Structure 1
Amino acid sequence: MATFENWGDYFWPGQIDECLRNKLDLRDPIALADAERRRTYLRSLELVDGKISVPQTFDLEHLQAIHAHVFGDVYEWAGQLRVTELVRPGSDPNEPGHEFMKPELIETMAPHVFAQAGPKPSRSAPGRCARR
């Protein structure tokens, strides 16, 4: 089992920023993208169709459980918290990329993020029926 302690650990040796290390042993990034798309689509359908139950706690553990289910067939690290910084390059090489939250802040900030994104109380009283 691989360890994921730095950015390079997520990639095959000699393919940093090219092809993510994966359980399918695919070394071609296009083949990996295709396999990932097909497998994650099917795993997502299992969640949507209710074939797999993930406790809906709307917190970090909930998100990790979803990620583990959807991506677990493809990546060892599915469902685990990221331990390295991540920047997605912008479409314009003259502009800075999109920097994601620093890994050391994820657990601290997650409750605040989920409080804003989670289910909101209904405006109508529970159980109230429409009058005719």
Structure 2
Amino acid sequence: MKPNSLVLKVLAIVAITVVLMLALGRIGGLVEERQMRSREAQDSVEQSLAGRQSLLGPVLLSARVEEWDTSVGEGKDRKTVTERREFLLAATPRQLAVQAGATMEPRYRGLFKVNTSVAVSGMPRMGA
């Protein structure tokens, strides 16, 4: 009895498909591992740097003391008491212009390159 050539062809196609699916599965696993390692490299570089920074601008702080007299009690028990409050007065400029520059600096962790920003210069100018 001769096997049907159509059945052999279908079995060959199924076998090739199974082998290709196994190979794709292994490649997918390798891609996932590389992506995980890339995230670890980014986290490592992020932890080694100063982290996110933001410029709030110049603030002039002035310590102030405020004193006032108040009357406490009624009639013969009435006394004048001096009350006091200490606080910080903050003054900021109406306008602030900052000229700064940053360049990209690559950092390497194993196979992976992680781009970081490095400040070149910055000079604030305050307006009236």
| Superposition TM-score tier, normalisation by shorter sequence | under 0.3
Structure exhibiting the larger radius of gyration computed from Cα positions: 2
TM-score, structure 2 normalization: 0.26
TM-score, structure 1 normalization: 0.25
